[in-house]
Each structure stands twice: as structure tokens, then as C-alpha cells.
């Protein structure tokens, strides 16, 4: 019974940052902006939340600063891809590199090795928010003007323009939403860990992207994919050293599962290709 409780708790702890980041990616990719920089945005948020919270002693200011940093990087992505028509992949790579380097730099320069503990955030509020968010987003894109415009821009920017929607403006809003959610995901990761280590997000931005693709760029299946990834990751931790079906698989095989599932989905073996039609179009 205790194991089961641990499993559920671990699934929520590991799954919620993924949900926030994946839904963040949803906004960006649904508006037509390819975004491989979820990782970088989360990472820059983690270090900002960490340093500002410790400096001010106020977690609220820390989280706000983290979200701000993440929004800043997100808007940089918008500026490069939409204003200067830079390729979104190149821009995303660059943002990831800059965030990785900046986080390392700031951590090494400013983290006080013998500082007091990190204040806990109200985790329950984050969890509820993360679990409800996909449903809200689903209602938003289906039933509001803003949501339908988002889908229109992501499906065919040229036609949306002719219908009187400004794709660049819609995308800016979408990328700000991405920034906010990635910032929250980063805050959650730091708070869960309670301390900062270099490269804190450790590829979780890419797992979130994988969940988004596996979910076919739809909020509710994405939620399911995030929970599944969190569940398997926690299961892997709990099964370590024990045998499953007579063999003890190395943990790396478990860690590969999200990536393999995504490749299978990309290869079209799990139903039709659901890539937004206007993804990557200027």
C-alpha cells in the first residue's frame, strides 16, 4: 500500500512539470512556431527562481522572476523567428545553448554554497493547476474566439491573414503563454528538488515535447502522455534492483521509453499524422 502511494505521488511530482511545459509547447506549436527551446526556457526559469528566491526570501518574487526570464527567452524566439524570419530550429538551438550557458554561469557565480534551505512552494496548488490546465486549454481552443484564432493561424497562416487575423500578433501571445507555463514548470522543478544542480532540467523539456507529439498536438492526450511518462519514470525508480518477469532491465532502457514511443508516433504507426498544417510556415 505504501508503495502504491509512493508511486502515485511520484507520478504527480514527475508528471506535473512535464504537463506545464508540454501545454506551453502546445500554445507555441499550435500557433505554428516550432519550439525545441522548451528545455532552455525551463532551465533559465529554474536558475532565476532559485537565485531570486534566495536573494529576496520571497518565493512569490522568485517565481515571478523565473516566469519573467522564461517569457523573455520566449519573446526572443518570437523576435528571431517572426520578425527576422530566422529558422525556428536554429533559433531554438541557440536559445537552448544560451540558457544552458547562462544557467551554469549564474549558478557558479552567484550560488552561495552555504546558504539556508529553499522555501517550499505551495505544491498542491501547482499540482491542481497542472492537472486542470489541459481541460481549460481544450475548452479555450474549442469555444473562444482567441482559441479558434490560434488554431487558424497554426493551420494556415496565409488564410488566417486574409480572414483578418494577424498571425504575428497571435503568435506573440501564444509564445508569451509558452513562456509563462515553462517558467512555472521550472519553478516546480526547483521546488521539488529543494536545491540547485547544474543542468537541472536534464532534458525534461524534450520529454515534454515528446509528450506533445505523442499526444498529437491535442491537450488531453498530451496530458495522458505526460502522466504516463511520469508514471513509468517513477516505476523505474521503484523497481530499481528488482526483477521484472525474471529479468532486471537496466534503468536506461526505461528512460528510453518516452523517446521510442515518440519515434513510433512520428513514424505514423499510431494513427494518422496530426502535425499542425501550418507548423513552421512563416
Partner 1 sequence: MKIWALLAIAVGLVYGALVVAGAAPADTAQSLIQGSLGSAKALEGTMKHFTPLLIAGVAVFFALRAGLFNIGVEGQFTVGAFVCAVVALRMPGWLGLIVGILAAAVAGALWAYPAGWIKAMRGGHEVISTIMLNNIAGQLSTAAVAGPFKDPNQQGTTTASIDPALMLPAIWQDPRISAALLVAVLFVIGIWRWLGRTVPGYELQAAGANPKAATLAGIDAPKVTIRAMAISGAIGGIAGALQVVAYEGRFFAGFSSGYGFDALGVALLAGSNPLILFPSAALFAILAKGSTTIQVMNGVPKGISFVILGLLIVIFAAIRYRKVPVKES
Cell digits of residue 83: 520578425
Q: Residue 13 or residue 251: which is nearer to partner 1 going by CB?
A: 251
Going from the C-alpha of 116 to that of each of 45, 195, 237, 263, the distances in angstroms are 20, 10, 29, 43
Residue 158: CB minimum distance to partner 1, A: 8
Rounded CA gap, 138 and 61, in Å?
30
Instruction: Choose which of 18, 33, 34, 121 interacts with partner 1 (CB under 8 A).
Output: 34
252 makes contact with partner 1 (CB under 8 A): yes
Residue 122: CB minimum distance to partner 1, A: 31
74 makes contact with partner 1 (CB under 8 A): no
Contacts (CB under 8 A) with partner 1, residues 158-217 = 203, 206, 209-210, 213
36 makes contact with partner 1 (CB under 8 A): yes
Instruction: Write phi, then psi, for 247 (nearest 5 degrees).
Output: -125, 150
Residue 73: CB minimum distance to partner 1, A: 11
Instruction: Write phi, then psi, for 244 (nearest 5 degrees).
Output: -115, 125
101 makes contact with partner 1 (CB under 8 A): yes
Residue 109: CB minimum distance to partner 1, A: 6
80 makes contact with partner 1 (CB under 8 A): yes
Instruction: Choose which of 55, 64, 89, 131 interacts with partner 1 (CB under 8 A).
Output: 89
DSSP secondary structure letter of residue 230 = H
Look at residue 247 and give its three-state secondary structure: strand
Q: Residue 144 or residue 248: which is nearer to partner 1 going by CB?
A: 248
Rounded CA gap, 237 and 231, in Å?
10
280 makes contact with partner 1 (CB under 8 A): yes
DSSP 197-229: -TTTTTTHHHHHHHHHHHTTT-HHHHHHHHHHH
Instruction: Choose which of 95, 151, 152, 160 interacts with partner 1 (CB under 8 A).
Output: 95
SS (H, E, C) 97-135: HHHHHHHHHHHHHHCCCCCCCCCCCCHHHHHHHHHHHHH
Binding positions for partner 1, rule: CB under 8 A? 34, 36, 80, 84-87, 89-91, 93-98, 100-109, 203, 206, 209-210, 213, 250-253, 255-256, 259-260, 262-263, 266-268, 273, 275, 279-280, 282
Amino acid at each position: 500500500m505504501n508503495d502504491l502511494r509512493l508511486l502515485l505521488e511520484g507520478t504527480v511530482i514527475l508528471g506535473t512539470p512535464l504537463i506545464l511545459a508540454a501545454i506551453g509547447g502546445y500554445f507555441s506549436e499550435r500557433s505554428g512556431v516550432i519550439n525545441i527551446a522548451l528545455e532552455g526556457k525551463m532551465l533559465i526559469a529554474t536558475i532565476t527562481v532559485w537565485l531570486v528566491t534566495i536573494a529576496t526570501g520571497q518565493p512569490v518574487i522568485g517565481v515571478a522572476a523565473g516566469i519573467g526570464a522564461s517569457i523573455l527567452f520566449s519573446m526572443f524566439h518570437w523576435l528571431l523567428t517572426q520578425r527576422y524570419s530566422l529558422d525556428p530550429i536554429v533559433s531554438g538551438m541557440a536559445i537552448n545553448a544560451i540558457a544552458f550557458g547562462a544557467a551554469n554561469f549564474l549558478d557558479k557565480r552567484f550560488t552561495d554554497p552555504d546558504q539556508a534551505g529553499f522555501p517550499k512552494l505551495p505544491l498542491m496548488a501547482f499540482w491542481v493547476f497542472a492537472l486542470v490546465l489541459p481541460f481549460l486549454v481544450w475548452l479555450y481552443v474549442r469555444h473562444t474566439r482567441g482559441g479558434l484564432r490560434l488554431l487558424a493561424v497554426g493551420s494556415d497562416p496565409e488564410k488566417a491573414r486574409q480572414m483578418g487575423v494577424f498571425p504575428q500578433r497571435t503568435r506573440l501571445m501564444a509564445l508569451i503563454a509558452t513562456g509563462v507555463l515553462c517558467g512555472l514548470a521550472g519553478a516546480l522543478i526547483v521546488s521539488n528538488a529543494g536545491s540547485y544542480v547544474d543542468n537541472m532540467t536534464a532534458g525534461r523539456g524534450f520529454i515534454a515535447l515528446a509528450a506533445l507529439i505523442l499526444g498529437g498536438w491535442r491537450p488531453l492526450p498530451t496530458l495522458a502522455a505526460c502522466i504516463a511518462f511520469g508514471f513509468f519514470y517513477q516505476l523505474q525508480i521503484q523497481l530499481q534492483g528488482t526483477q521484472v518477469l525474471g529479468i532486471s532491465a537496466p534503468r536506461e532502457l526505461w528512460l528510453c521509453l518516452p523517446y521510442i514511443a515518440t519515434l513510433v508516433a512520428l513514424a505514423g504507426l499510431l494513427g494518422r499524422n496530426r502535425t499542425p498544417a501550418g507548423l513552421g510556415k512563416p
